[in-house]
Structure 1
Amino acid sequence: MLRLIGFIIILLSLSGCSSVFDKHVEYEVQQPDSYPILRAIGYAPIAPQPGGSAQQKSIMAMKASKIEAYRELAEQVYGQQLQGNTSLANAIASDDVLQAKVQGVIRGARVTRSYVVGDSYATELELDMKLVYDLYVTQTKPRKIKKVTYY
Protein backbone atom coordinates (compact mmCIF):
# COMPACT_ATOMS: atom_id res chain seq x y z
CA MET A 1 0.00 0.00 0.00
CA LEU A 2 2.84 2.39 0.87
CA ARG A 3 4.44 1.69 -2.52
CA LEU A 4 1.18 2.51 -4.29
CA ILE A 5 0.85 5.85 -2.50
CA GLY A 6 4.49 6.69 -3.32
CA PHE A 7 3.90 5.78 -6.95
CA ILE A 8 0.80 8.02 -7.12
CA ILE A 9 2.72 10.94 -5.56
CA ILE A 10 5.52 10.53 -8.11
CA LEU A 11 3.03 10.47 -11.00
CA LEU A 12 1.28 13.61 -9.75
CA SER A 13 4.58 15.46 -9.30
CA LEU A 14 5.75 14.49 -12.80
CA SER A 15 2.52 15.59 -14.42
CA GLY A 16 2.75 19.03 -12.74
CA CYS A 17 0.08 21.65 -13.21
CA SER A 18 -0.16 21.21 -16.98
CA SER A 19 -2.78 18.50 -16.67
CA VAL A 20 -4.76 20.43 -14.06
CA PHE A 21 -4.90 23.74 -15.99
CA ASP A 22 -5.37 24.34 -19.69
CA LYS A 23 -4.50 27.76 -21.07
CA HIS A 24 -5.08 30.03 -24.04
CA VAL A 25 -2.36 32.57 -24.92
CA GLU A 26 -3.05 35.75 -26.94
CA TYR A 27 -0.11 37.48 -28.61
CA GLU A 28 0.39 40.99 -29.96
CA VAL A 29 3.05 42.34 -32.32
CA GLN A 30 5.44 44.86 -30.77
CA GLN A 31 6.59 47.83 -32.86
CA PRO A 32 9.57 50.12 -32.22
CA ASP A 33 8.92 53.79 -31.41
CA SER A 34 10.96 55.16 -34.33
CA TYR A 35 12.57 53.94 -37.53
CA PRO A 36 15.84 55.52 -38.70
CA ILE A 37 16.85 55.87 -42.33
CA LEU A 38 20.42 54.73 -42.96
CA ARG A 39 22.43 56.19 -45.83
CA ALA A 40 25.66 55.01 -47.43
CA ILE A 41 27.89 56.08 -50.31
CA GLY A 42 30.13 53.76 -52.30
CA TYR A 43 32.97 54.91 -54.57
CA ALA A 44 34.84 53.07 -57.32
CA PRO A 45 37.54 54.34 -59.72
CA ILE A 46 36.67 54.17 -63.42
CA ALA A 47 40.08 53.94 -65.14
CA PRO A 48 41.37 50.68 -63.57
CA GLN A 49 38.12 48.78 -64.22
CA PRO A 50 38.23 45.88 -66.70
CA GLY A 51 36.68 46.56 -70.10
CA GLY A 52 37.56 47.36 -73.70
CA SER A 53 35.86 50.75 -73.89
CA ALA A 54 35.22 53.73 -71.66
CA GLN A 55 31.52 52.80 -71.47
CA GLN A 56 32.31 49.29 -70.23
CA LYS A 57 34.70 50.66 -67.60
CA SER A 58 32.06 53.15 -66.51
CA ILE A 59 29.45 50.38 -66.12
CA MET A 60 31.87 48.24 -64.13
CA ALA A 61 32.67 51.19 -61.87
CA MET A 62 28.94 51.78 -61.41
CA LYS A 63 28.49 48.17 -60.27
CA ALA A 64 31.54 48.30 -58.01
CA SER A 65 30.38 51.53 -56.36
CA LYS A 66 26.98 49.98 -55.69
CA ILE A 67 28.61 46.97 -54.03
CA GLU A 68 30.76 49.31 -51.92
CA ALA A 69 27.65 51.21 -50.83
CA TYR A 70 26.00 47.93 -49.80
CA ARG A 71 29.12 47.05 -47.82
CA GLU A 72 28.87 50.41 -46.06
CA LEU A 73 25.23 49.72 -45.18
CA ALA A 74 26.13 46.26 -43.88
CA GLU A 75 28.77 47.86 -41.62
CA GLN A 76 26.13 50.20 -40.20
CA VAL A 77 23.60 47.42 -39.63
CA TYR A 78 25.85 44.54 -38.48
CA GLY A 79 29.14 46.20 -37.55
CA GLN A 80 32.63 45.14 -38.52
CA GLN A 81 34.51 42.13 -37.26
CA LEU A 82 38.13 43.05 -36.63
CA GLN A 83 40.96 40.62 -36.10
CA GLY A 84 44.48 41.71 -35.24
CA ASN A 85 47.76 39.88 -34.84
CA THR A 86 51.16 41.20 -33.85
CA SER A 87 54.30 39.09 -33.81
CA LEU A 88 57.37 39.92 -31.73
CA ALA A 89 60.94 38.81 -32.28
CA ASN A 90 63.50 39.86 -29.63
CA ALA A 91 60.99 42.39 -28.21
CA ILE A 92 60.64 44.06 -31.62
CA ALA A 93 57.37 43.98 -33.54
CA SER A 94 58.12 41.98 -36.67
CA ASP A 95 54.67 41.56 -38.15
CA ASP A 96 51.47 43.52 -37.52
CA VAL A 97 48.28 42.44 -39.30
CA LEU A 98 44.76 43.85 -38.99
CA GLN A 99 41.88 42.29 -40.90
CA ALA A 100 38.33 43.60 -41.20
CA LYS A 101 35.29 41.56 -42.22
CA VAL A 102 31.68 42.54 -42.87
CA GLN A 103 28.94 39.97 -43.30
CA GLY A 104 25.19 40.32 -43.46
CA VAL A 105 22.06 40.50 -45.58
CA ILE A 106 20.64 43.87 -46.63
CA ARG A 107 17.03 43.86 -47.80
CA GLY A 108 14.99 46.85 -48.89
CA ALA A 109 17.80 49.28 -49.77
CA ARG A 110 17.30 51.57 -52.73
CA VAL A 111 19.66 53.59 -54.89
CA THR A 112 18.98 57.31 -54.45
CA ARG A 113 21.75 58.70 -56.69
CA SER A 114 24.48 57.50 -59.04
CA TYR A 115 26.98 59.99 -60.45
CA VAL A 116 30.53 60.56 -61.65
CA VAL A 117 32.98 62.36 -59.35
CA GLY A 118 36.20 63.10 -61.24
CA ASP A 119 37.60 59.71 -62.30
CA SER A 120 35.37 57.79 -59.88
CA TYR A 121 31.79 56.67 -59.79
CA ALA A 122 29.64 57.18 -56.69
CA THR A 123 26.41 55.44 -55.67
CA GLU A 124 24.22 56.56 -52.77
CA LEU A 125 21.95 54.05 -51.06
CA GLU A 126 19.17 54.52 -48.54
CA LEU A 127 17.78 51.92 -46.16
CA ASP A 128 14.49 52.74 -44.47
CA MET A 129 14.38 50.67 -41.29
CA LYS A 130 10.55 50.82 -41.32
CA LEU A 131 10.63 48.79 -44.55
CA VAL A 132 13.20 46.41 -43.01
CA TYR A 133 10.90 45.96 -39.99
CA ASP A 134 7.90 45.28 -42.24
CA LEU A 135 9.90 42.67 -44.19
CA TYR A 136 11.05 41.10 -40.92
CA VAL A 137 7.50 40.95 -39.50
CA THR A 138 6.13 39.26 -42.63
CA GLN A 139 8.81 36.57 -42.39
CA THR A 140 9.15 35.87 -38.67
CA LYS A 141 5.95 37.16 -37.07
CA PRO A 142 7.52 38.32 -33.76
CA ARG A 143 5.06 38.21 -30.88
CA LYS A 144 4.65 39.39 -27.34
CA ILE A 145 2.30 37.69 -24.88
CA LYS A 146 -0.80 39.86 -24.61
CA LYS A 147 -3.04 37.76 -22.37
CA VAL A 148 -3.05 34.29 -20.82
CA THR A 149 -6.36 32.70 -19.84
CA TYR A 150 -6.40 29.57 -17.70
CA TYR A 151 -9.40 27.29 -17.51
Structure 2
Amino acid sequence: MKLIYTFVIAGCLAGLIGCQNIIDKQVEWETIEPDSYPVIRSIGYAPIDAQRGNNRSAKVLMAVKASKLDAYRELTEQVYGQKIDGEQSLANLVLTDTQLMASVQGVIRGARVVKSYPIGNDSYATELELDFSLVHDLYLSTAKPKQVKKVRYY
Protein backbone atom coordinates (compact mmCIF):
# COMPACT_ATOMS: atom_id res chain seq x y z
CA MET A 1 0.00 0.00 0.00
CA LYS A 2 2.86 2.38 0.87
CA LEU A 3 4.34 1.70 -2.56
CA ILE A 4 1.12 2.83 -4.28
CA TYR A 5 1.04 6.08 -2.25
CA THR A 6 4.69 6.72 -3.13
CA PHE A 7 3.95 6.32 -6.85
CA VAL A 8 0.86 8.56 -6.63
CA ILE A 9 2.79 11.32 -4.83
CA ALA A 10 5.71 11.01 -7.27
CA GLY A 11 3.28 11.21 -10.20
CA CYS A 12 1.59 14.32 -8.78
CA LEU A 13 4.94 16.03 -8.24
CA ALA A 14 6.08 15.17 -11.76
CA GLY A 15 2.82 16.58 -13.10
CA LEU A 16 3.22 19.81 -11.17
CA ILE A 17 6.81 20.22 -12.31
CA GLY A 18 5.75 19.53 -15.89
CA CYS A 19 3.00 22.17 -15.66
CA GLN A 20 5.50 24.77 -14.56
CA ASN A 21 6.97 24.94 -18.08
CA ILE A 22 3.65 25.65 -19.78
CA ILE A 23 2.75 28.64 -17.58
CA ASP A 24 2.86 31.75 -19.73
CA LYS A 25 4.71 34.73 -18.37
CA GLN A 26 5.82 38.14 -19.53
CA VAL A 27 9.11 39.57 -18.25
CA GLU A 28 9.84 43.30 -18.40
CA TRP A 29 13.48 44.36 -18.31
CA GLU A 30 15.19 47.61 -17.37
CA THR A 31 18.79 48.74 -17.74
CA ILE A 32 20.96 49.35 -14.70
CA GLU A 33 22.73 52.69 -14.30
CA PRO A 34 25.34 53.40 -11.62
CA ASP A 35 25.02 56.36 -9.25
CA SER A 36 28.28 58.03 -10.28
CA TYR A 37 30.93 57.70 -12.96
CA PRO A 38 34.65 58.09 -12.23
CA VAL A 39 37.10 59.80 -14.56
CA ILE A 40 40.58 58.32 -14.59
CA ARG A 41 43.72 59.82 -16.09
CA SER A 42 47.08 58.51 -17.18
CA ILE A 43 50.35 59.87 -18.51
CA GLY A 44 52.65 58.04 -20.90
CA TYR A 45 56.28 58.92 -21.55
CA ALA A 46 58.74 58.10 -24.33
CA PRO A 47 62.32 59.13 -25.07
CA ILE A 48 62.90 60.93 -28.36
CA ASP A 49 66.54 60.07 -29.08
CA ALA A 50 66.02 56.31 -28.57
CA GLN A 51 63.39 56.19 -31.36
CA ARG A 52 64.21 54.85 -34.81
CA GLY A 53 64.15 57.42 -37.56
CA ASN A 54 66.26 59.18 -40.16
CA ASN A 55 65.90 62.65 -38.67
CA ARG A 56 64.73 64.45 -35.56
CA SER A 57 61.17 65.00 -36.88
CA ALA A 58 60.63 61.28 -37.50
CA LYS A 59 61.96 60.45 -34.03
CA VAL A 60 59.61 63.01 -32.43
CA LEU A 61 56.60 61.50 -34.25
CA MET A 62 57.57 58.01 -33.09
CA ALA A 63 57.98 59.30 -29.52
CA VAL A 64 54.50 60.85 -29.68
CA LYS A 65 53.03 57.49 -30.71
CA ALA A 66 55.05 55.59 -28.11
CA SER A 67 53.99 57.95 -25.31
CA LYS A 68 50.34 57.54 -26.33
CA LEU A 69 50.66 53.74 -26.20
CA ASP A 70 52.33 54.00 -22.79
CA ALA A 71 49.43 56.12 -21.54
CA TYR A 72 46.95 53.52 -22.86
CA ARG A 73 48.92 50.80 -21.06
CA GLU A 74 48.66 52.75 -17.81
CA LEU A 75 44.89 53.23 -18.30
CA THR A 76 44.52 49.50 -18.93
CA GLU A 77 46.41 48.76 -15.70
CA GLN A 78 44.04 51.02 -13.77
CA VAL A 79 40.92 49.42 -15.26
CA TYR A 80 41.91 45.73 -15.42
CA GLY A 81 44.85 45.43 -13.05
CA GLN A 82 48.23 43.91 -13.70
CA LYS A 83 49.19 40.24 -13.86
CA ILE A 84 52.42 39.42 -12.06
CA ASP A 85 54.29 36.14 -12.59
CA GLY A 86 57.34 35.28 -10.53
CA GLU A 87 59.79 32.42 -10.59
CA GLN A 88 62.88 31.51 -8.58
CA SER A 89 65.38 28.72 -9.07
CA LEU A 90 67.52 27.02 -6.43
CA ALA A 91 70.62 24.85 -6.80
CA ASN A 92 72.19 23.36 -3.67
CA LEU A 93 69.92 25.59 -1.58
CA VAL A 94 71.39 28.69 -3.24
CA LEU A 95 69.19 31.06 -5.21
CA THR A 96 70.46 30.94 -8.80
CA ASP A 97 67.83 32.76 -10.81
CA THR A 98 64.93 35.12 -10.11
CA GLN A 99 62.44 36.24 -12.74
CA LEU A 100 59.53 38.63 -12.42
CA MET A 101 57.20 39.26 -15.34
CA ALA A 102 54.34 41.73 -15.49
CA SER A 103 51.65 41.98 -18.14
CA VAL A 104 48.41 43.81 -18.68
CA GLN A 105 45.60 42.99 -21.08
CA GLY A 106 42.30 44.67 -21.83
CA VAL A 107 40.30 46.81 -24.21
CA ILE A 108 40.00 50.55 -23.61
CA ARG A 109 37.21 52.36 -25.42
CA GLY A 110 36.32 56.03 -25.15
CA ALA A 111 39.65 57.43 -23.94
CA ARG A 112 40.61 60.86 -25.20
CA VAL A 113 43.94 62.61 -25.49
CA VAL A 114 43.96 65.56 -23.09
CA LYS A 115 47.43 66.85 -23.90
CA SER A 116 50.55 65.78 -25.78
CA TYR A 117 53.74 67.75 -25.22
CA PRO A 118 57.56 67.57 -25.21
CA ILE A 119 59.44 67.44 -21.92
CA GLY A 120 62.70 69.26 -22.50
CA ASN A 121 64.53 68.14 -25.63
CA ASP A 122 64.72 64.42 -24.91
CA SER A 123 61.24 63.12 -23.94
CA TYR A 124 57.60 63.31 -24.94
CA ALA A 125 54.49 62.91 -22.78
CA THR A 126 50.84 62.20 -23.56
CA GLU A 127 47.97 62.57 -21.09
CA LEU A 128 44.80 60.51 -21.54
CA GLU A 129 41.44 60.67 -19.82
CA LEU A 130 38.78 57.98 -19.55
CA ASP A 131 35.29 59.10 -18.52
CA PHE A 132 33.28 56.11 -17.40
CA SER A 133 29.96 57.76 -18.32
CA LEU A 134 31.09 57.50 -21.95
CA VAL A 135 32.32 53.94 -21.33
CA HIS A 136 28.89 53.10 -19.88
CA ASP A 137 27.13 54.57 -22.94
CA LEU A 138 29.41 52.60 -25.28
CA TYR A 139 28.75 49.45 -23.25
CA LEU A 140 24.97 49.96 -23.41
CA SER A 141 25.12 50.39 -27.18
CA THR A 142 26.80 47.00 -27.62
CA ALA A 143 25.93 44.72 -24.68
CA LYS A 144 22.52 46.02 -23.58
CA PRO A 145 22.73 44.78 -19.95
CA LYS A 146 19.37 44.22 -18.27
CA GLN A 147 17.75 43.23 -15.02
CA VAL A 148 14.25 41.92 -14.37
CA LYS A 149 11.82 44.80 -13.83
CA LYS A 150 8.52 42.94 -13.59
CA VAL A 151 7.20 39.43 -14.17
CA ARG A 152 3.53 38.69 -14.95
CA TYR A 153 2.17 35.17 -14.89
CA TYR A 154 -0.94 34.23 -16.84
> What TM-score, normalized by structure 1, do the two folds share?
0.91
> In the alignment, which of 113, 116, 120 is matched to residue 114 of structure 1?
116
1:124 aligns to 2:127 (yes or no): yes
Q: Residue in 1 aligned with 2:146?
A: 143
How far does the alpha carbon of each residue in 1:18-77 deviate from its partner, in whole angstroms, 9 at most, with x for none? 22x211001111101110001000000000100011000000000000000000000000
| Secondary structure of the structure 2 residue equivalent to 1:33 | coil
Unmatched tracts of structure 2, length 5 or more: none
Q: Given the alignment of the two structures, is residue 87 of structure 1 paired with residue 89 of structure 2, yes or no?
A: yes
Letter in 2 for 1:117: I
Q: Give the equivalent residue in structure 2 for 1:46.
A: 48
Q: 1:98 & 1:89 partners in 2: Cα distance? A: 19
* Residue segments in structure 1 that go unaligned for 5+ positions in a row: none
- 1:15 matches 2:23: no
Residues 86 and 16 (structure 1), Cα distance of their counterparts in 2 relative to 1, 3 Å cut? farther
Please provide the CA RMSD for this pair: 1.8
Which whole-Å CA distance do the structure 2 matches of 1:9 and 1:32 have between them? Answer: 46
| Paired position in structure 1 for 2:27 | 25
Q: CA shift at 1:16, angstroms? A: 3.9
How many Å separate the matches in 1 of 2:119 and 2:127?
Answer: 12
> Normalising by structure 2, what TM-score?
0.89
